[in-house]
Amino acid sequence: MSGDIILRAEGLKRSFVTRKPLFGPATVVQAVDGVDLSILKGETFAIVGESGCGKSTLARLLVRLIDPSEGSVWYDGADIAQLPPEALRALRSDLQFIFQDPFSSLNPQMTVGALIEEPLITHGIGDKDERRARVDDLLTRIGLTPAHADRYPHEFSGGQRQRVGIARALATGPKVIIGDEPVSALDVSIQAQVVNILEDLKEAFGLTLVVIAHDLAVIRHMADRVAVMYLGEIVEVAPAEGLFTAPRHPYTETLLAAIPIARVGPRRAKARIEGDLPNPTAPPPGCRFHTRCSHAQDRCKTERPTLRDLTGRQVACHFAETLDLTGLTGGDAARSPSARARFALYRAARAQEGGITASEKTDSSTKETLS
Amino acid sequence: MLAFLGRRILIAIPTIILISIFVFGMQKLLPGDPVLVMAGEDRNPEVMEFLREKYRLNDPIPVQYFTWIGNALQGDLGISLRTQQPVTELIGEKLPVTIQLAIMALIIALSIGIPAGVLSAYKKGTWVDWIANLVALSGLSIPNFWLGIMLILLVSVNLGWLPASGYRPLTDDPLQSILTMLMPAFVLGTGLAATLMRHTRSAMLGVLRSDYVRTARAKGLSEQVVLIKHALRNALVPIVTVTTLLFGELLAGAVLTEQIFTIPGFGKLIVDAVFNRDYAVVQGIVLCTGIAFIAMNILADAAYRVLSPRMKDA
Amino acid sequence: ADLRIGLQEDPDVLDPDQSRTFVGRIVYASLCDKLVDITPELVIVPQLASGWSWSDDGLELTMTLRDGVTFHDGTPFNAEAVIANVDRSQNMDESRRKSELSSITGAEAVDDLTVKFTLGAPDATLLAQLADRAGMMVSPTAASEAGVDFGLNPVCSGPFKFVERVQQDRIVLEKFAEYWNADSINFDKVLFLPIPDTTVRLANLRSGDLDMLERLAATDVTSVKEDGSLQMEQAVSLGYQGITVNVANTDRAANPLGENSAVRRALSLAIDRSVINQVVFEGAFAAGNQPFPPTSPWYNKDFPVPGRDIEAAKALLEEAGFPDGVTVEVQVPNNPVQMQLMQVVQAMAAEAGINIELLAKEFATLLSDQSAGAYTASQVGWSGRVDPDGNIHQFMTTDGGINDSHYSNAEVDGLLNSARVSNDMATRKKDYDAALAILQEDMPIIYLYHQAWIWALDEKVQGFVPYPDGMIRLEGVSLSE
Amino acid sequence: MNLNAPLLDVRDLSIQVAGVRPPLVDRISFSLRAGQTLCIVGESGCGKSLTSLALMGLLQTPPLSIAGGTAQFAGRDLLTMTRRELGQVRGDRMAMIFQEPMSSLNPSLKIGEQIAEAVRRHKGVSREAARARALEMLERVRIPAAAKRLDAYPHELSGGMRQRAMIAMALANDPELLIADEPTTALDVTIQAQILDLMRDLQAETGAAMILITHDLGVVAEMADQVAVMYAGRIVETGPVAQVFDDPQHPYTIGLMSSMPSLGARSDRLVTIPGVVPQAAAMPDGCRFSTRCPFRTPICDNVPPLTSLGNEHEVACFHAPLEQTPKLRVVGA
Amino acid sequence: MTDANATLAPRTPSRFWRKMRASKSASLGAVIVAFFVFIALAAPILPVPGPTETDWGAVRKAPSAAHLFGTDEIGRDVLSRMIWGAQASLLAGVVSVLIAVALGVPLGMLSGYLRGWTDAVISRFTEALLAAPFLILAIALAAFLGPSLSNAMIAIGLSAMPLFIRLARAQTMSVMTEDYVESARAIGLGHFSLIRKYILPNIFPPILVQSTLTIATAIIAEASLSFLGLGQQPPAPSWGSMLNVAKNFLEQAHWMAMWPGIAIFLVVLGFNLLGDGLRDALDPRDL
Ligand SMILES: Nc1ncnc2c1ncn2[C@@H]1O[C@H](COP(=O)(O)OP(=O)(O)OP(=O)(O)O)[C@@H](O)[C@H]1O
Ligand SMILES: Nc1ncnc2c1ncn2[C@@H]1O[C@H](COP(=O)(O)OP(=O)(O)OP(=O)(O)O)[C@@H](O)[C@H]1O
Ligand SMILES: [Mg+2]
Ligand SMILES: [Mg+2]
Ligand code: NI
């Protein structure tokens, strides 16, 4: 992999104390357990993984919303884990975050307009009118209207709130956006709009995106590279295409197998994982996935695999080279002929309307560039 | 939690010393001469000078302070200039009275104020809300002396149900003791109930709209459980703050009520002591109430951690 | 039977040699006998001393003592005990009785029950002093054991002995069986309960939680009178209330009121004393213009209580050079009655062009400001003494201990000093009259009224006799069934 | 009662917000038999959550209120039940999984307690039994170290775990009707698959009916018997899942489905539906989608009725089926 | 999509005023408060006898045509004294609360926001203030500052301050745990803005409640201070001192306590209703 590294994590660890009894040792969750990452300028980097494996924690660490227990995060040549508060604050206009929970992360006392305008004020961008215009513009882009600016978060639906969070992150024109499930609460049409916006921005300004998402279709669509996490560790990092078509870690394979397909009928493969989920406060020794891995051998129970370079990717599995794993095949042959015909009609109608087709990148809602 | 408490108690010691310096200094700044008060109708200069020497009132103030604190650390808080009674003994005499009154008043205040506040928030805008508010605010505006005297006139003089005033130690006759203190506790309690009610109402209004209250309702829980277990619990932070402060104030500040019901507690003692410039007594009581306030603050901080588990991480 | 008495305040230390409060004396009346006592008419009568005689030169006082008296701790009462008591009063460092007994230079036991006091100079006031705290006999054994802490557990020879005291709550005394006059004592126990609020004190009496109370508020007199289950007794006190003017105490005296006696007289004339008595005290007290009440034999009848005369007051002001009126500041203790009084005075004075600015102060501040001369005028009073000297000498003589106005007039000094050494009533009266005549002119204190002690009692209480000294003497008092 | 009678029958349900004339939810009707799953899909903000809250009797009133309609649940109208009666039904026979797992969990109560109390309330079991049930439920929703998590506070859990705790809470009493408002959006696909399995198992065991609100058309395809597509407060298309997926009729449904990223090789750009949903007050009187519809004609100024195309497939569009619409030109100036 | 929906989404300030106007309690509160403010200001021109005019013939007379509210212990017209006392009482109530809030809330927020040693220092300071008897403070201030209403307000303000410090601190700590505070940090918001926009509005309700309650305490406290030589000196009227005096005539002249009591009640009610309205208007979740 070439290109400039914009964000780099080294040996990041973060633990939480969940219970501290009067006597005896505290119970500790290693939410993130030794993560090394390099994110390249301009790429879209996705993090996927089992719920609770530490994705949100990792994302928070990357922008130092929480302090790491160990390790360092480098942005632009500086270790942001060591940065003084002032410098860190200035940095935040470059480094934005979209929160997983859209409601609790919006101040109930502020209107949506004020919430979106706030980062602009904070970083001294524009005068009052410019900011107002920009807020209106942002609202429009995310599929709301300028009139929504005066409403309060609780008056919005879940998806609408999520979009407010996205608009907020976009406001300062950041260089890196870290999105903690930025589109999962959105319906597919809005999701499509937002994904398009993000891609346009990427194209226009070399925005770097780090996305956490559960919807692998979206990830496949957006991501350049994907990291798969399991129990606080990264088990595989690979270019999206490669990861989806030819996974090299058994957990990745399991994930892919579980993707629901928008076609009526039962799921494609019933490759459900067996065994209980391991306890994160007492992770299994050796390979953390061995308790649920159908390919596990004795070695996996004792020896902990490290992330190894494999052509074009990194995998943490002792048998990465030898295992024969299945990825995703085929596109959306899923759709019925009549449905496909309707889709074509629809596209045609929109084209005729003077609108845009999927191949011409001039979606009306993203026509203007964000600057 | 234990570590937290331990740490807080350790910090409390310098705080108490700080408080005692503060109060000592303030007292010494007051106009008025304790010896002049003590001398009374016979202002014999020789005697006055002797008393000044005896109580070391001629020493520089820091020296006076260190003498006092030195003795205090050995458990000697000095004697009352007015009655010559040792201050420790005095405190031992008054503390149970004061605490009993404060606790009874607080119980009354809590048992009126919180349910009223919950109800009024729940029924916001209805007549129930209006009545609860009007009653609470009149509880606040009716002066304690007025309520006190009216109660005495009604309950003791006309009906003869309860003794008009005085104090019976709890150890003497628990029932009688509680009965005697019922009226003053009620008078104090109603005043505080108003404050608690208004805070409860306000906090509940905020919480009642939250999603988790909706969740609780979705579980089919009875309104009572929803209100108390889910809503009230999350509304408790300001209530706890106010309650702990009020309790602290009850210990020291129930002067008027103590006066009217002739309850020999801290409030009256400290007022008399200040008026007589009986500095050892003032210091002694301040020490006590200071400890009480610190204890209350520790308690409040501990309660916050229980009530709002996230505060621990902050 | 028990008797419960409501007091207005909590007494201070219960050591006759150290105490200073009026309520303390009420407790002593049951706890500690004195060498002599007074009648309601202020005649001095025997108590522990069965008789006494003066030498002709007035320098020796010989007292015979009552036989068979013992202190509560069993120590016998005799000449030695008296001598020890005098010694304690005079020589204990903390004693507040020193000046009261300063005339005694020696005391000797003539025999077991006779004691002879030698005086440095004739002292007309001595017997009266011995009728009060200075004459209270405490057990020498207990006193020497307890020293200054005697007050925590006082031992005297009165009708009741000390049981316990809880500050601000109660003082409990119980009958002393060996009391020399035990037959006239009808109670097993006396409880003194300090209840500062007058309304509450009365409510306690009404509800039956008290049997009697002292210092009923004047405003409650009517309602008590109307209440068939209560009785009321009163006696005009020995003291007075007035406005003490700073005439020479530091430079704060430099103001029209302090510098000019005409202004003081004008103020006095502007005040309608009988209206004050009506408005503030419902007519229960006595208007006054001298240190003694008009009923007192020592009252100077040449200067009756003046009526209000605004014109005269204005004229005086004009004459003094203040035709446009004056402004004076008066400090007043922060109790409601005194404040009410002074607001009435304020309103009256204003009509004569004397603009009074009131300054409420809590008592300790007021007292220290007053003694330090940091005041212009001060509304204070005096609880009164049996002997006239006690009401005037220390206030008006140049070196008087409580002369906070720093009034100084050699003629007055001479008259008052000579009045205290004569044992002849007529001579003394002449001196006082002369002094009072001067004081009416100079007016360092503007006397306003004489308080009346008012007791309210349950109808069951029999045989209570009001005394002008405000004490509660329990001999002969009983509860009817 | 007839076995075939619907468990839930919603007729003409409308929901209003104070001060705004056009209802936020406009006369929607659907019915559901025991054992059936109805999936509601639609534009974010179209009123899906409001509909489910209304059924639970949990609308925030004021400002929201029910403007009309009925909702028969097992023969009784949910919308007219007293608070008491609702309390009997809610959490027991009928349960809901809320969309926002963080704010919907009580921050000061432990997870275990929050689950157990629903059990205690309706099943009248002991504290221990309820706790055991809570543990069982946490295990069923695959929360790792479930026994420990019983005593965790919501903020100590990851987003997905909170979501699962919510699910556990709703399922704890084996409800007859489960309303799930985006129950799996915060979950990774493996857990999602397990949870969906779990819900299906429950359905199989208890014959529960389920309303599933989701954006994930894959989930719809997998779970639904019936699908209702909502747009701006109205149901624009409804029918058996196969019908709607294989033969989408309404322009909005079509637009929605074509916006879905495919799992195939990366395509360049996603298709979108241009424009935004109008604000409530600016809502067109006729077809609400007409402001964004490429097929609109003047007739769309009237309210299109939900018309049946057979096979229980109904659509609210004057132009359906689209192939028969002669001209696909932009109408109006 | 440009024509905004006027009913649902008005600009923020107008929304606030609309809600204030629409609120029954706020309007009633405003009317009550305005009434008393008017009386306080208009006292000199109202047709009542002077507040210090005495009538020895009419001491403690019950309400009558001549004296609508009766007369006081030295024959002054109670109605007039009520009217003239309004100014001092309102000032004492409002200004001292303002002082307490202005000092207490920032300190409390700082304490809860920064935690650590700042919290320790401020908390210890608060504890010391709480433990020091009010009386001592008042007497000392009276001695050093002299009698004036403003000094009394300072004394009351100082003594009410600890409560506000504690309240603000606790609420701040509680708000600090909210996710939206983290989101504010994520956009790089400075301390000042964070406190102003995120913390202050969210800790506001209990502070508001306490302020409206403390007004009552302050009005009554002014009287005890004037007794200690701080504050309004006689014969100038204030409701508190009227109440204080009335204490001794509860049986003989109950109206002396009744009127000031009612006035204080009404003022406190007015402020509380206004506070409720304000609270509702400021809370976007309330309609
Ligand atoms: N309290 C409220 N006041 C005013 N409008 C509200 C209120 N609550 C919801 N709305 C509006 O009602 C509409 C429907 O909201 P709802 O929450 O039902 O949407 P939804 O379909 O669940 O969307 P999502 O998929 O994004 O959760 C939205 O446009 C929303 O803005
Ligand atoms: N404040 C906290 N206290 C205790 N444990 C915590 C805390 N925050 C997170 N954890 C634990 O850390 C682990 C990782 O949490 P995290 O939120 O990073 O997961 P995630 O990968 O984002 O999951 P999801 O996809 O479900 O959001 C979980 O086991 C969680 O319980
Ligand atoms: Mg997460
Ligand atoms: Mg929703
Ligand atoms: Ni149409």
pLDDT of residue D183: 86
> Which residue, judged by its Cα, is nearest atom 5 of ligand 1?
A155
Binned at pLDDT 50, 70 and 90, residue D205 comes out as confident
- Phi first, then psi, for residue A315 (nearest 5°) are -140, 145
**Closest CA–CA distance from residue D101 to any residue of chain E (Å):** 13
Structural domain boundaries of chain E?
76-282
- Per-residue model confidence as pLDDT tens digits over B53-109: 888 888 888 888 888 888 888 888 888 888 888 999 888 888 888 889 999 999 999
Confidence at residue A359, expressed as pLDDT on a 0 to 100 scale:
37
Instruction: Give the domain-ending residue among D118, D139, D174.
Output: D174
Q: Which positions 126-185 of A are in contact with D (Cβ < 8 Å)? A: 140, 143-145, 147-148, 156-160, 162-163, 180-181, 184-185
- Residue range(s) defining the domain that contains residue B37: 20-73
* CA-based nearest residue to C443, from C303, C323, C319, C318: C303
Question: Which of D174, D199, D229 is at the close of a domain?
Answer: D174
Task: Confirm if B303 and D108 have CB atoms less than 8 A apart.
Answer: no
Give the chain C residue whose CA is nearest to the CA of B91: C167
The C-alpha atoms of residue E247 and residue A74 are separated, in whole angstroms, by: 73
Identify whether the C-beta of residue A339 lies closer than 8 Å to the C-beta of residue D217: no
B35, B150: one domain: no
Q: What is the predicted pLDDT for the residue at E10?
A: 39
Minimum Cα–Cα distance from A17: chain B residue = B313
> Nearest residue of C to residue B164 by CA position?
C204
Q: Do A103 and B211 touch (CB under 8 A)?
A: yes
- Compute, in angstroms, the gap from residue A232 CA to the centroid of ligand 3: 12
Judge if B99 and B69 occupy the same domain: no
In whole angstroms, give the CA distance from residue A49 to residue A16.
19
Give residue-wise pLDDT tens across range E235-264: 888 888 888 888 888 788 888 888 888 888
Answer yes or no: is pLDDT of D159 > 60.
yes
Cα E36 to Cα E220: distance, rounded to the nearest angstrom: 16
Tokens 């030898």 locate to A322
pLDDT of residue D134: 92
B141 and B32 part of one domain = no
Structure tokens at C104: 């005694």
CA of D161 from ligand 3 middle (Å) equals: 9
Q: Name the domain count of chain B.
A: 2
Measured between CB atoms, which of C168, C367, C402 is closest to B37?
C367
Q: Do chains C and D touch (3 or more CB pairs under 8 A)?
A: no
Same domain, B163 and B260: yes
pLDDT tens-digit profile of C95-140? 888 888 889 998 999 999 999 999 998 888 899 999 999 999 999 9
Residue B131 shares a structural domain with residue B54? no
Alpha-carbon gap: B229 to the closest alpha carbon of chain A (Å): 21
Which domain does D78 fall in, by range?
8-93+175-324
- Counting from 1 in the atom list of ligand 1, the atom nearest the Cα of A154 is 1
The answer on D126 and D42 residing in a single domain is: no
Give which of E55, E77, E81, E227 to mutate to test C binding, by max C Cβ within 10 Å. Answer: E227
Residue B242 near chain E (CB below 8 Å): yes
Residue A341 in tokens:
């015909």
H or E stretch covering D292: none
CA of D156 to the centre of ligand 5 (A): 48
pLDDT confidence of residue B138: 84
Q: Which of E5, E196, D100 is nearest to A107 (CA)?
A: E196
Together in a domain, D153 and D207 = no
Of A90, A111, A150, the CB nearest to E188: A90
Residue D226 sits in the same domain as residue D295: yes
Q: Are residues D211 and D300 in the same domain?
A: yes
> Is the model's pLDDT at D282 over the cut of 80?
no
B2 and A22 within 8 Å at the Cβ level: the answer is yes
Report chain A residues whose CB lies below 8 A from the CB of E285.
108, 152, 154
The reported pLDDT for the residue numbered D275 is 75
Please tell me what DSSP assigns to residue B199. Answer: H
Residue identifier of the C-alpha nearest atom 19 of ligand 1:
D45
Ligand 1 touching residue D276 (CB < 6 A): no
Tell me, using a 6 A CB cutoff, whether residue D179 lines ligand 1: no
Q: Do B303 and B181 reside in the same domain of the chain? A: yes
C204 neighbors B164 (Cβ within 8 angstroms): yes
D1 inside domain = no
pLDDT of residue E6: 31
Task: Give how far C239 is from chain E: nearest CA, Å.
Answer: 24
The answer to whether the beta carbons of residues E219 and E237 sit under 8 Å apart is no
CB B266 within 8 A of CB B98: yes
* D58-101 tens-digit pLDDT: 888 777 888 888 988 888 888 888 888 888 888 888 999 988 77
Fold of E76-282: MetI-like fold (1.10.3720)
Residue B140 lies in a domain: yes
Q: Are residues D109 and D21 in the same domain?
A: no
Whose atoms come closest to the Cα of A160: which ligand?
1
Pick the residue whose CA is nearest to atom 31 on ligand 1: A156
For residue C453, give the nearest of C433, C428, C473 by alpha carbon: C473
D108 with D86, same domain: the answer is: no
Query: Which amino acid, one-letter code, is at D330?
Result: V
Does residue B274 share a domain with residue B200? yes
Among protein residues, the one with the nearest Cα to ligand 1's atom 23 is: D45
Instruction: Tell me, yes or no, whether B130 and B274 share the same domain.
Output: yes
Cα–Cα dist A248/A51, whole Å: 21
Q: Which ligand is nearest to the CA of D47?
A: 1
Query: Does position C242 have pLDDT exceeding 90, yes or no?
Result: yes
CA distance B1 to chain D (A): 16
Output the CA torsion sign for A112, A116, A117, A122.
positive
- End of a domain among B38, B73, B108? B73
| Global ipTM | 0.85
D63 and D184 belong to one structural domain: yes
| Residue nearest (by alpha carbon) to ligand 1 atom 3 | A155
**Contact (CB<8Å) A140/E11:** no
Same domain, B47 and B104: no
Residues whose beta carbon lies within 6 Å of some atom of ligand 2: A 16, 18, 29, 31, 51-57, 100, 280; B 313; D 155-161, 186
The alpha-helical segments, DSSP class H, found in chain E are 12-22, 24-42, 78-114, 116-131, 134-145, 149-176, 179-186, 191-193, 200-227, 239-246, 254-282
Contact E187 A119 (CB under 8 A): yes
Q: Give D284 Cα–ligand 1 centroid separation in angstroms.
A: 18
Q: D154 and D180 share a domain?
A: no
DSSP letter at A353 equals T
Whether a cis peptide bond, with omega within 30° of 0, leads into E235 is yes
- Spell out the per-residue pLDDT of chain A, length 371, in tens: 446 888 999 989 998 887 665 566 777 888 888 889 899 988 999 999 888 888 989 998 988 888 888 889 998 878 887 888 888 888 888 888 988 877 788 888 888 999 999 889 888 888 888 899 999 988 888 878 888 888 888 888 777 888 888 888 888 888 899 998 888 878 888 888 888 888 887 887 788 999 998 888 888 888 899 999 988 889 999 998 888 888 888 888 888 888 777 666 554 445 455 555 677 778 888 888 888 888 888 888 888 888 888 888 888 888 878 877 777 765 555 677 787 888 888 887 777 765 443 333 334 343 333 33
Q: How far apart are CA B98 and CA B251, in angstroms?
A: 6
Closest Cβ opposite residue C365 in set E59, E139, E251: E139
Contacting residues for C227 by C-beta, under 8 A, at least 6 apart: C206
* Same domain, yes or no: D199 and D274: yes
Quote the radius of gyration of chain D (alpha carbons, Å): 21
Q: Which residue of E has its CA nearest to A170?
A: E187
Q: How many domains does chain D have?
A: 2
Query: Rounded to whole angstroms, how far apart are CA atoms E157 and E101?
Result: 8
Residues D59 and D46 in one domain: yes
Smallest-distance ligand from the CA of D303: 5
From CA C187, how far away is CA C323, in angstroms rounded? 64
Asked whether residue B38 falls in the same domain as residue B176, the answer is no
Chain C residues touching residue E229 (CB < 8 angstroms): 334, 359-362, 365
Mean pLDDT of C405-421: 91
C-alpha span between D169 and D115 (Å, rounded): 5
Q: Give me the residue from E226, E229, E251 closest to C223, CB to CB.
A: E251
Q: Which residues in D17-48 are b (16+ Cβ under 10 Å) and which e?
A: beebebbbbbbbbbbbbbebbbbbbbbbbbbb
Decide if E179 and A105 are in contact by the 8 Å CB cutoff. Answer: yes
Q: Which residues are registered as beta bridge partners of C61?
A: C54, C117
D27-43 pLDDT, tens digit per residue, is 899 988 888 899 999 88
Same domain as B204, residue B120: yes
Domain assignment of residue B81, yes or no = no
Q: What is the mean pLDDT of residues E53-60?
A: 80
- Closest ligand 1 atom to Cα of A151: 4
Contacts of E22 in chain D (CB under 8 A): none
pLDDT digits (tens, 9 = 90+) for E114-132: 888 888 889 888 888 888 7
Question: Which of C99, C193, C383 lies nearest to residue B42, judging by beta carbons?
Answer: C99
Provide the b/e sequence for A10-43 (b: ≥16 CB within 10 Å). Answer: bebbbbbebeeeeeeeebbbbbbbbbebbbbebb
Domain stop point among D122, D155, D174: D174
Report yes or no: A205 at the B interface, CB cutoff 8 Å.
Answer: no
Those residues with Cβ within 8 angstroms of residue B176's Cβ, 6 or more apart along the chain or in another chain: B168
Least CB–CB distance from C359: residue in E139, E229, E248: E229
**Contact at CB, D107 and B212, closer than 8 angstroms:** yes
| Residues in contact with B130: Cβ distance below 8 Å, sequence separation at least 6, in sequence order | none
Instruction: Compute how many other C-beta atoms are within 10 angstroms of the C-beta atom of residue A274.
Output: 10
Query: CA-to-CA distance for B150 and A296, rounded, in angstroms?
Result: 85
Same domain assignment for residues B174 and B242: yes
**Which domains are delineated in chain A?**
5-18+28-260+291-315 (3.40.50.300)
Question: With 80 as the cut, is the pLDDT of residue E17 above it?
Answer: no
pLDDT of D301 strictly over 60: yes
My answer on whether D166 and D181 are in the same domain is no
pLDDT tens figures, B132-180: 988 888 888 888 888 888 888 888 888 888 887 778 888 888 888 888 8
Confidence (pLDDT) at C83: 93
| Closest ligand 2 atom number to CA of residue A55 | 21
Q: Is E261 on the interface with C (CB under 8 A)?
A: no
Chain E positions in Cβ-Cβ contact with residue C341 (cut-off 8 Å) = none
Task: Name the token pair of B250.
Answer: 């009850």
Inform me whether the pLDDT recorded for D268 exceeds 50: yes
Q: Return the CATH number at B149.
A: 1.10.3720.10
Q: Is residue B82 part of a domain?
A: no
Q: Is E148 on the interface with C (CB under 8 A)?
A: no
Read off the pLDDT of residues C248-307 as tens digits, 9 standing for 90 and up: 888 888 899 888 999 999 999 999 999 999 888 888 899 999 999 988 889 999 999 998
Residues of B in contact with A22 (CB under 8 A): 1-2
Average confidence score pLDDT of chain E: 83
pLDDT of residue D163: 84
Q: Residue of the nearest CA to atom 2 in ligand 2?
A: D156
Does residue D63 lie within any of the structural domains? yes
Backbone phi and psi for residue A40, each to the nearest 5 degrees, phi listed first? -90, 150
| Same domain? D82 vs D227 | yes
The pLDDT score that the predictor gives to residue C199 is 86
